[in-house]
Every structure is written in structure tokens, then in C-alpha cells.
Amino acid sequence: MTASKFTSVDMDVIRPAVLNVLRLYRTKFVSEFGELILCCDDRKSWRKEIFPNYKASRKKTRAVAPIDWDNLYECLNQLKEELAEWFPYKVIQVDKAEADDIIAQYVNGCGSDGKRLKQDRTLILSSDKDFVQLHQFNVRQYSP
């Protein structure tokens, strides 16, 4: 496939879609769980350094998908910067860490600001079933 056959992502479409979803969840959960914190994967992962085949099958899937992945990641990075600068959300990304790692640290009381206490109510907003291992007192998960 040539680059011209890839489907590009239009920021004028993706931005309002993401903002509407964030607004929906913030409105739905802010009174019970407080602020919305967005945890983002870093482009590189410590797991890939240790296990080179980690998520290797995803490369094969991406190779045949008609999506311009570079364009998609560029749009997501731009959106992430806009959210951090202009919106009432904390956006956290840690070098070589996945969002799962950041969420686990936060839930276990090791947040980057050191302020989360075990008694704080926390909601993990994700359909990832791996987060079940983080369920504990005052930690719930909502799967969209």
C-alpha cells in the first residue's frame, strides 16, 4: 500500500469527539470521584526493552490496517498537549511507561503528586480486564 491509500485522521473530527467523551465522563463521575486524570502510554516501553516480542502481533495488525498510524499518533500527541494546556484535566505520561503502569502506581498510593490516599475513591475508566487486579477498597472500574 502506498501512503496515499492510508486513511488520515482529521483533527477537526477527532478533537470534538474526544472532548465530548471526556465531558460526558467528567459530568457523570466528578461528584463521586473528583478530578479526571488522563494516563497516557509513552511511545517506548520498558517491557519492549526486556521482552522484544512484547505486543509484536500488533505490528502485524497495523501493517495491514488502512490507517496512517504516524498521522494518528501525531494527532493524539497534539490533542494530549491541548488537553494538558487548556482543559481541567491532569495529563500524565512517564518515560518508557504504559498508562497501565501509571494507573497501578496511582491506585497503590504512589501518585506522581504523592497525594492519593488509600481511602480516596478512585474510578478506572477502561474496558481493559487486566485492571481487575487493581480492584480494592474504594477502587472501582467502569467499562465504557
Tens digit of pLDDT at every position of the chain (144 positions) = 444 566 788 889 999 999 999 999 999 999 999 999 999 999 888 888 888 877 767 777 777 778 888 888 899 999 999 999 999 999 999 999 999 999 998 888 765 555 655 567 899 999 999 999 999 888 999 999
Task: Find the helix or strand (DSSP H, E) in which 122 lies.
Answer: strand 122-125
Q: What is the pLDDT of residue 133?
A: 93
Residues 75, 77: Cα–Cα separation, whole Å: 5
Q: What is the pLDDT of residue 22?
A: 96
pLDDT digits (tens, 9 = 90+) for 121-141: 899 999 999 999 999 888 999
Task: List domains and CATH numbers for the chain.
Answer: 3-142 (3.40.50.1010)
**Which triple of cell numbers denotes residue 57?**
502481533
Nearest by Cα to 86 from 15, 7, 14: 15
pTM: 0.80
Contact 139/122 with Cβ under 8 angstroms? yes
Q: What is the pLDDT of residue 5?
A: 60
